[in-house]
Amino acid sequence: MTAGDRPPRTWFVTGGGPGGFGIAFAEAALEVGDRVAVTARRTEPLREWADARGDRVLVLPLDVTDPGQVRTAVSAAEDRFGGIDVLVNNAGRGWYGSVEGMADAAVRDLFELNFFAVLSVTRAVLPGMRARGAGWIVNMSSAAGLRGVPGFGYYSAAKHAIEGLTDVLRDEVAGLGIRVLAVEPGAFRTRAYAGFADEPARETVPDYRPMLEQVRSAMVEQDGRQPGDPRRGARAVVAAMDQEPPPHRLVLGGAAFDAVTATLRDTLADIRAGEALARGADFPTG
């Protein structure tokens, strides 16, 4: 069903700070006649943008790692618009560090934001969707969720967890009229890379610092030069949602598509190379 064939939908988008995917999703939703609740930890930078778009936009303060704020924001959006039709779990970010040496507190902070907060928001929105027998959940994963990136091991792990969660959730809610999509962007021209210039790695093992400095330098160099356009990416997601049947996952960006498909091809070849050992682990059948 295309935008012209259905009534307006209400979107709930997390991580709506300026210059990122959150605002790109909000604008893509507005372009097709929908309404949107945009959440951010700091809402003041969004006021002018929201005022220019009238009563189809609601801006809400939200730290997604605070369950109480999550419930308050979801209730406010439901009260204003009558329900949430599309949830976009977009809030998140990646810290860098080695698997061995990243500080424990940083690892836990990373999973709180990139995994547990997704659970919190999803669980808050699902009851309303179940009651109406319809809805969409769009989980912003990453190409790193399908292809691990050195220096970002825990970010990749969190996004791998989002991939697994999304696959199971899709099956669990399919019979309830709810659809679920995982989106895996590559390098997009958001503000995600901007903080690397001034942010040291949260690292405790000196042996990994040369590798991590290369990681940091590469991120700083790419900032503002990433090939992906967030607005085009958000529109691609809207178009995917209108397909019948819609895809289960959508990789965004040409380089990401090439890297992910190559990784999956190599993974399949590696698994097939061990087929005899895999099958030989069963009890004999004869």
Residues noted as catalytic:
141, 155, 159
Read off the amino acid at residue 237. V
Read off the amino acid at residue 162. I
The structure tokens listed for 249 are 């996952």
CB 64 within 8 A of CB 113: yes
Q: What region, left, alpha or beta, does residue 177 occupy, with left being phi > 0 and alpha being psi -120 to 50 degrees? A: left
CB 211 within 8 A of CB 151: yes
CB 204 within 8 A of CB 103: yes
d(CA 250, CA 246): 10
Q: How many CB atoms lie within 10 A of CB 213?
A: 13
The structure tokens listed for 210 are 């040369």
On the 0-12 / 13-18 / 19+ scale of CB atoms within 10 A, 278 is exposed
- Give the C-alpha distances (Å, rounded to integers) separating 200 from 47, 49, 101, 150, 218: 32, 32, 13, 16, 14
